[in-house]
Amino acid sequence: MFHRSQRVMLRPIWPEDWPGIYEAINDETVVRNLARAPWPYTPADAQAFACLPRKTDEAKFLITLPEAAGAPVVGSIGLEPLDGGRHELGYWVARAWWGRGIATEAVHGILEVARMRGWNRVSAEHFLDNPASGRVLHKAGFAPTGQTALRYSRGRGCEARVACFALDLADQGDGVSVDLLDAA
Q: What is the CATH number of the domain that holds 86?
A: 3.40.630.30
**Is 82 inside any structural domain?**
yes
| Confidence (pLDDT) at 173 | 55
| Confidence (pLDDT) at 71 | 83
Amino acid at 60: K
Burial of 35 (0-12, 13-18, 19+ CB in 10 A): middle
Residue among 177, 148, 147 at smallest CA distance from 162: 148
**Is 11 inside any structural domain?**
yes
| Confidence (pLDDT) at 28 | 97
Domain count, the chain: 1
Q: Is 65 within 8 Å of 8 (Cβ atoms)?
A: yes
CB atoms within 10 A of CB 157: 10
Widest distance between CA atoms in the chain: 42
**Pairwise CA distance, residues 153 & 176, whole Å:** 32
Residue among 131, 138, 128 at smallest CA distance from 165: 138
**Is 172 inside any structural domain?**
no
**Is 63 inside any structural domain?**
yes
Give the model confidence (pLDDT) of 119-163 as tens digits: 999 999 999 999 999 999 999 999 999 999 999 999 999 999 999
Give the model confidence (pLDDT) of 20-56 as tens digits: 999 999 999 999 999 999 999 999 999 999 999 999 9
DSSP category for residue 68: S
Q: Which domain covers residue 13, as residue numbers?
A: 2-123
**Is 101 inside any structural domain?**
yes
**Is 30 inside any structural domain?**
yes
More confident residue, 15 or 174: 15
| Confidence (pLDDT) at 171 | 80
**Is 146 inside any structural domain?**
no
**Is 160 inside any structural domain?**
no
Global pTM reads: 0.91
| Confidence (pLDDT) at 68 | 84
Give the model confidence (pLDDT) of 88-110 as tens digits: 999 999 999 999 999 999 999 99
Cis peptide before 40 (omega within 30 of 0): yes
